[in-house]
Amino acid sequence: MTDETGPDPGTLLPIPGFDRVAFLRPLVDDPRIEIGDYTYYDDPTGPEAFMKNVLYHYEHAGDRLRIGRFCAIATGATFLMSGANHPMRGVSTYPFAVFQRGWRKGYDGELEAGSRGDMVIGNDVWIGLRATILPGVTIGDGAIIGAHAVVSRDVRPYAIAAGNPAREVRRRFDDETVAELLKIRWWDWDVAKITRNLQIISEGRPDQLRDCR
């Protein structure tokens, strides 16, 4: 009988003897970070380095990092959260309130200045080597972010974005096909169905997903 269970998403190191790759869900223990099953991070220094790449994630900013299922995140990919922003309402961008004492009285809401909301990474997203995602960005399902890209604006589903600042290079499929893929949402199938249809998911045509059982 064929094993249709697939790897356990609750296992930290899914590849025996290869400890540079880990599933992130069992690794990350932060209520402000949501990570879907089978999303992994690859780093030669060890997958624990992932948390060092989530920067300026201060509680007062109130934002969350939400990453979907089946994402592939390469070494050094960095997620800059809203705490990185400085106030820009006045003459200076200096964060006076951070340094307390008399400066803490700056003005109401100074520490919250510049919050851009949650950062959302969709499902089946590939984030390349040392890419940087800026606060408040949403990256759609099936997108690819090129190595060293700096993503300062939202990326459409199934788009390929590269450069600094990142621009859409092309879309992986036409609009009609993208709409169908977003309706099918193969990443939400049960693991047995995914396992049975791995060849189509990995190598087949999008229209073939319609008939998967």
The residue behind tokens 């993503």 is 151
How many other C-beta atoms lie within 10 A of the C-beta of residue 201? Answer: 20
Q: What is the pLDDT of residue 101?
A: 74
List the one residue out of 85, 89, 140 whose CA is nearest residue 115.
Answer: 85
Least confident of 92-96, 174-178, 189-193: 92-96
**Is 97 in contact with 103 (CB distance < 8 Å)?**
yes
Q: What is the pLDDT of residue 131?
A: 98
pLDDT beyond 70 at 110: no
Element of type H or E holding 132: strand 132-133
Catalytically annotated residue among 57, 60, 86, 148: 86
60 part of the active site: no
Tens of pLDDT along 62-80? 899 999 999 999 999 999 9
pLDDT beyond 70 at 140: yes
pTM (2 decimals)? 0.91
Instruction: Catalogue all structural domains in the chain, each as residue range(s) with its CATH number.
Output: 21-172 (2.160.10.10), 173-213 (no CATH)
Q: What is the pLDDT of residue 105?
A: 59
pLDDT beyond 70 at 166: yes
